[in-house]
C-alpha cells in the first residue's frame, strides 16, 4: 500500500512540473466530441452508454459496455458568437474478451483570417486500450496527437495521454485518472512555452432501469487542472424503452480553460442505429453551440 501511495504521489509531482498556472494552450483537447456527453454538459467520464467516444475521454469504460462494437460520427459548431469553428469527428470502439480498443479523429476549422486566405484548424488523432482486470475493475490509457494551425506560418503540436482506472459495483461506476498529460508546447518560431490543459479527473455514474421501460442515468465529473483551477459537471439522462432519450446538464467551469455552461440534448435509437443532438446555452461565449451525431452499435 505504501508503495502505491508513493507511486501516485510521484506521478502527481511530475505532472505539476509540466504545468504552468494560467498559461494553458490547445483548449480544444478538453472539448467533447460526443453528442451524448455534451447533452449532459460534458459529463459522463464514468458512463458506458457511448463507448465509441472513449478515445476522447476514458478508455477503461469500453470493457464494461453492453455493446461489442460502437461507432459514431459527429458535427460540432463551437463558439458561433466569438470564434466560430465547425468540423467533423469520428470515433469507434471494439470489445474483445477482457480488452477494449478505441480510435478517434477530429478536424475542426475556425473562421478565415481577415488579412489572409488562411483558415485556422485543429486536428486530433487518438488511440486507446482498456483492460478488465476483474469483473468490477478495469484500467486504460489513450495516446493522443493534436495540432493547431494558428496562421499559415504559426502552428503548434503535441502528444499527450490519458490514464484511467474504473470500478463498477451494482448500479454505480467510479472512474479516476489523469487527462491530457504531456510536455509543454510552443508556437513555431516562438519562444514562450505553454502547458497543455492537464488535470486529475474523478467521475461518478449511477444508472438504473425502472419498470422495464424507464431508464435513468446521473453523471458527476470533477477536474482539478494543474493550472490550479477546478471544474465540475453534472448531467442527467432519461430514456424510454431504450429508444428515446432526453438529457440536460450544467458545467461549472470557474476559472478553468472551458467556461461554465448549461446544455440540453435529445436522442433516438432503433435497431443499433442512433441519432443524438446537443445544444449549449447560458454561457455568453458558448451559447448556441451545437453537436449533431449519428452512430451504430451491436
At residue 118 the predicted structure's pLDDT band, cuts being 50, 70 and 90, is confident
Lowest mean pLDDT, pick from 11-15, 33-37, 114-118, 213-217: 11-15
Q: How many Cβ atoms sit within 10 Å of the Cβ of residue 58?
A: 34
2 pLDDT higher than 60: no
pLDDT at 111: 74
Q: Which residues, in sequence order, are CB contacts of 179 under 8 Å at separation 6+? A: 30, 162, 198, 199, 200, 201, 223
Q: What is the pLDDT of residues 225-284, one digit of tens each?
A: 999 999 999 999 999 999 999 999 999 999 998 899 999 999 999 999 999 999 999 777
pLDDT at 21: 45
22 pLDDT higher than 90: no
Domain segments of the chain as ranges: 2-297
183 pLDDT higher than 80: yes
Rounded CA-CA distance 119/124 in Å is 17
CATH topology (fold) of 2-297: Porin (2.40.160)
Query: Strands 137-149 and 155-169: what pairing?
Result: antiparallel
- DSSP secondary structure letter of residue 17: H
At residue 10 the predicted structure's pLDDT band, cuts being 50, 70 and 90, is very low
Query: Strands, DSSP E only, in 52-120?
Result: 69-78, 85-96, 99-109
Mean pLDDT of 26-47: 95
Q: What is the pLDDT of residues 140-178, one digit of tens each?
A: 999 999 999 887 778 899 999 999 999 999 999 999 999
- DSSP secondary structure letter of residue 164: E
pTM score of the predicted model: 0.88
What 3-state class would DSSP assign to 36? Answer: helix
Rounded CA-CA distance 213/238 in Å is 11
pLDDT at 187: 82
- DSSP secondary structure letter of residue 152: S
At residue 78 the predicted structure's pLDDT band, cuts being 50, 70 and 90, is confident
Amino acid at each position: 500500500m505504501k508503495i502505491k501511495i508513493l507511486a501516485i504521489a510521484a506521478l502527481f509531482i511530475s505532472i505539476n512540473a509540466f504545468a504552468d498556472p494560467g498559461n494553458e494552450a490547445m483548449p480544444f483537447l478538453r472539448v467533447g466530441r460526443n453528442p451524448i456527453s455534451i447533452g449532459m454538459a460534458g459529463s459522463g467520464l464514468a458512463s458506458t452508454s457511448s463507448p465509441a467516444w472513449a478515445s476522447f475521454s476514458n478508455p477503461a469504460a469500453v470493457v464494461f459496455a453492453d455493446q461489442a462494437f460502437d461507432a459514431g460520427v459527429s458535427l460540432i459548431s463551437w463558439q458561433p458568437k466569438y470564434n466560430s469553428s465547425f468540423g467533423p469527428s469520428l470515433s469507434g470502439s471494439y470489445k474483445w474478451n477482457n480488452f477494449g480498443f478505441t480510435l478517434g479523429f477530429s478536424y475542426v476549422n475556425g473562421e478565415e483570417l481577415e488579412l489572409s486566405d488562411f483558415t485556422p484548424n485543429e486536428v486530433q488523432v487518438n488511440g486507446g486500450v482498456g483492460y478488465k482486470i476483474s469483473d468490477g475493475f478495469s484500467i486504460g490509457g489513450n495516446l493522443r496527437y493534436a495540432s493547431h494551425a494558428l496562421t499559415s506560418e504559426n502552428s503548434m503540436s503535441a502528444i499527450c495521454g490519458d490514464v484511467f482506472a474504473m470500478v463498477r459495483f451494482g448500479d454505480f461506476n467510479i472512474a479516476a485518472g489523469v487527462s491530457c498529460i504531456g510536455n509543454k508546447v510552443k508556437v513555431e518560431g516562438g519562444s514562450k512555452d505553454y502547458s497543455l490543459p492537464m488535470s486529475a479527473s474523478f467521475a461518478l455514474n449511477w444508472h438504473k432501469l425502472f419498470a422495464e421501460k424507464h431508464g435513468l442515468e446521473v453523471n458527476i465529473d470533477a477536474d482539478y487542472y494543474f493550472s490550479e483551477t477546478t471544474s465540475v459537471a453534472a448531467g442527467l439522462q432519461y430514456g424510454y424503452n431504450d429508444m428515446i432519450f432526453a438529457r440536460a446538464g450544467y458545467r461549472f467551469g470557474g476559472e478553468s480553460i472551458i467556461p461554465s455552461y448549461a446544455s440540453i440534448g435529445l436522442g433516438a435509437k432503433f435497431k443499433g442505429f442512433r441519432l443524438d443532438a446537443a445544444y449549449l446555452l447560458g454561457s455568453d461565449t458558448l451559447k448556441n453551440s451545437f453537436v449533431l451525431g449519428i452512430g451504430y452499435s451491436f
